[in-house]
Structure 1
Amino acid sequence: MGAALVRAYRDRNFRVIASSRSIKDSADSGILAVPGDISKPETAERIVREGLQHFGRIDSLVNNAGVFLSKPFIEFTEEDYAHNIGVNVAGFFHITQRAAAEMLKRGSGHIVNITTSLVNQPMAGMPAALASLTKGGLNAVTQSLAMEFSKSGVRVNAVSPGIIKTPMHPPEAHAALAALHPVGRMGEIRDIVDAVLYLEAASFVTGEILHVDGGQNAGRW
């Protein structure tokens, strides 16, 4: 999903800073690759510092990094907890704080957080308390920061996906996962990309949690 977002922003002539633990340098001069663990503050510091050195400004931030683990609540380990909090919460905090500081200086910017519809529509057959704990926090902070920054020119929104067809899900599981959506299919990566790009251009939208989940958020089925 992150790679697709990079391509989509480049197609619109954005210059992009991309980061993951194993990312490689790009031949595209419009892409700056910064490897690192997003849960660490030093990674966020490098992303923002090197991005400003290369491109001079930060206009948008997409917090796409995330981990998801489904298991019964009482079976989560301390390691599970630390990993989910580290990536989903600390990862958001460190990079968003630094990027927002630059946006506030310029009086413009846009932040998008990728969360999950399980926050609002938990499923008995998919126990995911750590996803709700961490991604639910992102939903809440999206609206909090939207209000905090509302007069500053910086917008803050979220995209709340259903289950998206990525390499995380083996093909043999697709039929069962499709049935977990009222529309009867899994989401495609392009569905999330389209949602992020809509929010990017929607200058009158802030504090929105945009559900891209095949109807999951609308109710039970």
Structure 2
Amino acid sequence: MSSQKVVIVTGASQGIGAELVKAYRERGYRVVATARNIKPTDDPDIAIVPGDIGDPDTARRVVAKALEAFGRIDSLVNNAGIFVAKPFTQYTAQDYAAVTNVNLSGFFHITQLAIAEMEKQRSGHVVSITTSLVDHAIAGVPSVLASLTKGGINAATKSLAIEYAKTGIRVNAVSPGIIKSPMHAPETHDALGALHPVGHMGEMADIANAVLFLETAPFVTGEILHVDGGQSAGH
């Protein structure tokens, strides 16, 4: 088995996920990248697994691919997520199902399988990408389904950190503000930037750097690291 570390990144086809794949490769990690629509790569140290992360079968295939291709799992980044901004009473059953499928089921199944493998080697790290809207709701940005699901992941992060504290497995989260990514059209950037005390949006590299900081911080577990331009501190 190679001693080169291996990370699984969900939601890896674009935006923050693609930035995370690039950042981990630059650190010498092998990467298992998964998303619904993800293109093949020529990099032999990146394994691609297409699929719906909310489907337990996708989670099984991702973990199996990591073990088959690279022989180990050292880290998991739960980056996959969807955000539906609607007034609470206008959410449909389809909205609820879609958000809980990706944000909750997509966290649960892959994390359970990855931690089971990490337990065998008595080391590992799980990082989940959540949102600072959990801590600081913003007038005009309806976000109940995001808070319901990502808030649950923040709570689960602390619970898992304590459950596995003595096994060598750390569990943390990064809680972003609004990040410049393909999710947000350029013409919205000024208005979205104004929602942050620092006056501008974050960059995708800010989130990748935060994840890599946690990766290299062995005494940090159960942490919800806010990378949000001051949003969670106040206005």
Say whether residues 1:67 and 2:99 are aligned partners: no
Alpha-carbon deviation of 1:24?
1.9
Rounded Cα–Cα distance in structure 1 between residues aligned with 2:61 and 2:187: 40
Say whether residues 1:47 and 2:57 are aligned partners: no
Say whether residues 1:135 and 2:159 are aligned partners: no
Query: Which amino acid is 1:166 matched to?
Result: S
Alpha-carbon deviation of 1:26?
1.1
Corresponding residue number in structure 2 for 1:5: 20
Unaligned runs of 5+ in 1: none
Corresponding residue number in structure 2 for 1:104: 119
Say whether residues 1:180 and 2:195 are aligned partners: yes
For normalisation by structure 1, the TM-score amounts to 0.99
Corresponding residue number in structure 2 for 1:190: 205
Say whether residues 1:215 and 2:230 are aligned partners: yes
What's the RMSD between the two structures over aligned residues? Answer: 0.5
Alpha-carbon deviation of 1:174?
0.5
Alpha-carbon deviation of 1:50?
1.2
Percent of matched pairs sharing the same residue? 65
Q: Cα deviations across residues 43-91 of structure 1 (Å, max 9, x unaligned)?
A: 0000001110010000000000000011100000000000000000000
Corresponding residue number in structure 1 for 2:178: 163
Say whether residues 1:153 and 2:198 are aligned partners: no
Alpha-carbon deviation of 1:32?
0.1
For normalisation by structure 2, the TM-score amounts to 0.93
Query: Which amino acid is 2:173 matched to?
Result: A
Query: Which amino acid is 2:127 matched to?
Result: V
Query: Which amino acid is 1:102 matched to?
Result: E
Alpha-carbon deviation of 1:156?
0.1
- SS of equivalent to 1:151: helix
How many residues were matched structurally? 220
Corresponding residue number in structure 1 for 2:215: 200
Following TM superposition, the consecutive aligned residue runs of length 4 or more in structure 1 with deviations greater than 3 angstroms are: none
Unaligned runs of 5+ in 2: 1-15
Aligned residue among 9, 12, 15 for 2:30: 15
Alpha-carbon deviation of 1:138?
0.4
Rounded Cα–Cα distance in structure 1 between residues aligned with 2:27 and 2:185: 32
Rounded Cα–Cα distance in structure 2 between residues aligned with 1:110 and 1:62: 8
- SS of equivalent to 2:170: strand
Rounded Cα–Cα distance in structure 2 between residues aligned with 1:100 and 1:157: 13
Query: Which amino acid is 1:110 matched to?
Result: H
